[in-house]
């Protein structure tokens, strides 16, 4: 179930970007991706991954970008999410 949710999340993110940053598709893709991640590695491990002390900057940018996308500013939100994603996984 988790791999399917992550796959659909990535598909909706790609489709949202290809359709000129459609905010509904981007928000739906983000939510599917995060819920799939929870299904794959579990709630506790997901929570501890995102809220480790050295990764709080990346987490705040990633979730801040998600909130900005939900508020219908998709380009700014995706830029914040990409910066947060890069700083989370480097």
Q: What is the pLDDT of residue 45?
A: 96
pLDDT at residue 61 is higher than 90: yes
pLDDT at residue 7 is higher than 90: yes
DSSP string, 13-44: HHHHHHTT--HHHHHHHHHHHHHHHHHHH-HH
Distances (CA, A) of 1 to 5, 34, 48: 6, 13, 21
pLDDT at residue 89 is higher than 90: no
pLDDT, tens only, 24-56: 999 999 999 999 999 999 999 999 999 999 999
The pTM (predicted TM-score) of the whole model is 0.89
Average pLDDT, rounded, for the chain: 95
Give 18's contacts (C-beta < 8 A, 6+ positions apart). Answer: none
Q: What is the pLDDT of residue 90?
A: 86
């Amino acid at each position: 179930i988790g791999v399917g949710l992550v796959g659909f999340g990535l598909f909706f993110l790609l489709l949202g970007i290809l359709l000129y940053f459609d905010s509904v598709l981007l928000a739906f893709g983000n939510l599917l991706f995060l819920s799939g991640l929870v299904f794959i590695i579990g709630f506790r491990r997901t929570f501890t991954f995102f809220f480790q002390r050295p990764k709080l900057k990346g987490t705040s940018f990633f979730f801040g970008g998600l909130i900005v996308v939900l508020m219908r500013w998709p380009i700014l939100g995706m830029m914040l999410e990409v910066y947060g994603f890069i700083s989370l996984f480097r």
